[in-house]
Amino acid sequence: MKTAKNYFRGCLLGGACGDAMGYPVETMDWNQIRSEYGAHGITKLPINEERNEALFSDDTQMNIMTVDGLLWADKKAKERGIYAYTSSLFYCYQKWLYTQTGRFADKNYNFLLGGEILENKELFARRTPDKVNISTLEGCINGKYGTMKRPLNQNPGTGAVMRAAPVGLYFYNDPKMAFRIGAESAAITHGHPDAYLPAGFLACLIAQLVRGKDLESAVVRALDELETWPEHENTRDLIEKARSLAAQMNRSGNILSVNELEMANRIDLAAIGSGETGSELIALSIYCALRYSDNFEQAILLAVNQGGNSDTVAAVCGAILGTYLGMDEIPYAWVNKIECSILLVHGADKLLESVM
Ligand SMILES: [Mg+2]
């Protein structure tokens, strides 16, 4: 049954499962994936033998920090009436920087060491962390971080979109606000509209899905909001392309066939791009989600078996469909093996409690 709890957990676990599926092939193109894993590409959740768990990458590590930042901001808002969502998120991304490099950008942030989230040693694993996130966060001294008005760079990369989905959960009652805070949280590290607008779009889309919209209508509503922002054209055009390509699909059944995978790689996915910019990433994720909107597993298999940025496309697609379909539609074999599953479930539940 779809309940708010099921949506919230589905978002975080769905994103983590997509990330863990795509992480081993994130740098491979489709030909390399095929020669390594066979004609169907990667089909099983990769399990780390030593840990007997599936390992996720920086995408999910940062989503966990986004949840932490939102809960912290929520507490400040309720206790002291201080609304500081973006700065709380910035400090939590500094905590992420600490997990990856062993230091904050500035000694003044050492007070963050008391944060409970840093007790989770699994989060200190380095799994090809996004370079722009590392270098930009390292430069943020004296509490200064990037904003849309005062960007720190003009980077259109994907490292900000991948951590925006929980913003949509927290602000599900106000999709417009979800867009704004999603975009602001992205601009902390990524100053190009092709990076921060897709993050706003994703948060707004997640909010619409929690409100019970079907996937297609949620995409349309989030597009309406996107169009109110300056410099939205590239992101809008790519999402529209993904929508029309997904609508033209010639789906043969419920299971992704080798033929379909070949066609999708050669024609549709190639037409959208490689997923190296935020705009391409959101469009590829939406294409995969719309194409298999009733089947979480097949959508993720399509997302990971493509030539682009597999872990991030699958992580974003997983967050979208996990929210839309709910946790119960994610294969149990995946949820059962994903690392830090208790942390993810608790994070989702705490976020839900904070907005009830
Ligand atoms: Mg990654």
Task: Name 188's Cβ contacts closer than 8 Å, sequence gap at least 6.
Answer: 86, 89, 90, 93, 136, 140, 145, 146, 147, 160
Q: Which residues of 181-216 are buried (b: 16+ CB within 10 A; e: fewer)?
A: bbbbbbbbbbbbbbbbbbbbbbbbbbbbbbeebebe
In 3D, which of 105, 76, 71, 286 has the Cα closest to residue 188? 105
pLDDT value at position 148? 97
pLDDT value at position 2? 66
* 26 alpha carbon – ligand 1 mean position (Å): 8
What tokens does 297 get?
Answer: 């597993």
pLDDT value at position 254? 66
What tokens does 326 get?
Answer: 């709910």
* 78 alpha carbon – ligand 1 mean position (Å): 33
* 293 alpha carbon – ligand 1 mean position (Å): 23
pLDDT value at position 225? 98
- Number of structural domains found in the chain: 1
Residue 103 CA to residue 94 CA, distance in Å, equals 9
* 57 alpha carbon – ligand 1 mean position (Å): 4
pLDDT value at position 260? 79
User: Mean pLDDT of successive 10-residue segments in the chain (356 residues)?
Assistant: 87 98 90 90 94 96 98 93 92 98 96 92 95 97 95 96 98 97 98 98 98 95 98 97 84 70 78 91 95 93 88 96 97 96 97 94
Residue with tokens 């993810």: 344
Helix (H, G, I), strand (E, B) or coil at 235: helix
Residue 352 CA to residue 7 CA, distance in Å, equals 10
* 134 alpha carbon – ligand 1 mean position (Å): 13
* 311 alpha carbon – ligand 1 mean position (Å): 6
* 201 alpha carbon – ligand 1 mean position (Å): 20
In 3D, which of 166, 204, 182 has the Cα closest to residue 65? 166
β-sheet bridge partners, residue 338: 54
What is the CATH number for 73? 1.10.4080.10
The domain in which residue 261 lies consists of 4-355
Q: Which class for 165: exposed (0-12), middle (13-18), buried (19 or more C-beta within 10 A)?
A: buried
pLDDT value at position 250? 58
In 3D, which of 85, 41, 93 has the Cα closest to residue 65? 93
* 197 alpha carbon – ligand 1 mean position (Å): 20
Task: Name 16's Cβ contacts closer than 8 Å, sequence gap at least 6.
Answer: 56, 60, 63, 315, 318, 338, 340, 341, 344
* 165 alpha carbon – ligand 1 mean position (Å): 15
pTM of the model: 0.96
pLDDT value at position 266? 73
